[in-house]
Copies of this chain bind each other. A is one copy, B any other.
């Protein structure tokens, strides 16, 4: 198994990747930002093995990126919420999204981010191109873009609301 740490590195980029650099971790954070909260939803969207998903959620919780909340008692079922630390990963997600859009989608982004209040597009500095506001994750909404396509009968990714808590 690959080592997850970068021990020789005195660098915040390396430290950050130790926490969220494992396969699937940033896609879990992305889906939580899109408003998916339950294990089965995440499992369905990601198509990752259940034990891997469980291990990633456990680690993100240990690191304070997400927290579990009981939503059903018998049997016990949990939802997963981003903490402030988790929501603060939004710039990383937007950075990857913008870069992927530019170079890897053939000009047809599957998702566009809009400023919830005015409908302007969110640029790669997380600034609204219409009104100029500097946006946080809760002020943006993801909508299907020109490259969105039907998968399993519904638009993926759906234009779900951004995380509240």
Contact residues of A with B, CB < 8 Å? 2, 6-17, 19, 21, 23, 26-27, 30, 46-47, 64, 85, 88-89, 91-105, 109-111, 124-127, 134, 147-149, 151, 156-157
Copies in the complex: 2
- Counting from the closest, the 8 A-B pairs by CB-CB distance are A12-B100, A16-B100, A92-B95, A91-B95, A15-B104, A8-B47, A16-B96, A125-B125
* Structural contact, B47 and A27, CB atoms closer than 8 A: no
Given contacts A19-B104, A89-B95, 11 further A-B contacts (CB under 8 A): A8-B46, A9-B27, A10-B147, A11-B27, A11-B110, A12-B104, A13-B27, A16-B97, A91-B125, A125-B126, A125-B134
